[in-house]
Amino acid sequence: MQLVARATELSPETHFFIENSVSENSRRAYLSDLREFELSGGSIPASPDTLAEHLAQNAGRLSVATLVRRLASISKAHEARGLPNPTRSALVRATLRGIKRTYGCAQHQAKPLLLTELIQVLDATGDRPKDLRDRALLLVGFAGALRRSELVGLNRDHAEHVRQGVILHLLRSKSDQEARGQKIGIPHGRGRWCPIAALEAWLAISGISEGPIFRPINRHGRVHDCRLSGEAVGEIVRERVSAAGLDPSGYSGHSLRAGLATSASQVGVPTGKIRAQTRHASDAMLARYVRDGALFSQNAAGALL
């Protein structure tokens, strides 16, 4: 199944670039949504009636966020083929609005790993190679507000050591789909747990001089040549949180990024400075972290009770 139907007048080269106009993850999500839509009896092109019925049949079974994403995939398929877009019809919009009012549309968010909790987690680590790797992963991921794909995508030559710390060179990320490149400063830590020291300790014991920085380790302590998967980051976060005596429920690979943003908000870092590190496109995208971090800052009830 292809997101964009091959047209006879398009060359293979043109078709290749059209297919690569979205990230691999986005393309997989689009194709999965279209496959599910077709398995339920839908097809492209779709009528507004068919699409509204599809939404109604899946309301409650699928989350509102999943339904919204599925609509986006179906919309993309129609627009890429130059077809009338049924997702813009009043019928489909009214159906989705009714589902949101019925089931709510609060987005599930990863629980942030706050600085105080991160320190507790780090204090519970040991001195095995796996401990050193995980400490470096947690600290670099937190300090850089990195997405899990960015974290596992780091290579040895992406980390440039400078006097103030390390500059991470991201070749591609969710917020940089055209691969212009982004730089993130990771400063030396002032407390016991320094991200630069943790990274250097891991690189020294692993002997990594090129290729992926974060790699799987077998039960005998052997470091593999391949890179960790994005899913492994979430597993490491939950495993380490649990080992520190905390409930791992709600934590994921995104908890490091959310933790930096929320923790910075709690200590009064301006949103512009937070956004410079997280690389959110706007304050609106950052708002949920800032809002959660400021819940008890200058709290009206706290001033009275």
Sheet holding 159-162, edge to edge: 159-162, 165-170, 182-187
Catalytic residue among 54, 111, 238, 257: 257
Amino acid at 63: S
Tokens 């991201």, residue? Answer: 170
Catalytic residue among 148, 254, 275, 279: 254
35 is catalytic: no
b/e per residue, 57-85, with b = 16+ CB within 10 A? ebbeebbbeebbbbbebbbbbbebeeeeb
220 is catalytic: no
CA–CA dist 46, 35 (Å, integer): 14
275 is catalytic: no
Give bridge partners of residue 168 from the DSSP assignment: 159, 184
Catalytic residue among 174, 188, 224, 291: 174
254 is catalytic: yes
174 is catalytic: yes
Catalytic residue among 111, 133, 238, 280: 280
147 is catalytic: yes
Catalytic residue among 147, 148, 238, 279: 147
CA–CA dist 227, 154 (Å, integer): 9
Catalytic residue among 54, 215, 240, 289: 289
H or E element: which one contains 169?
Answer: strand 165-170
Neighbouring CB atoms inside 10 A of 150's CB total 25
Query: Catalytic residue numbers?
Result: 147, 174, 254, 257, 280, 289
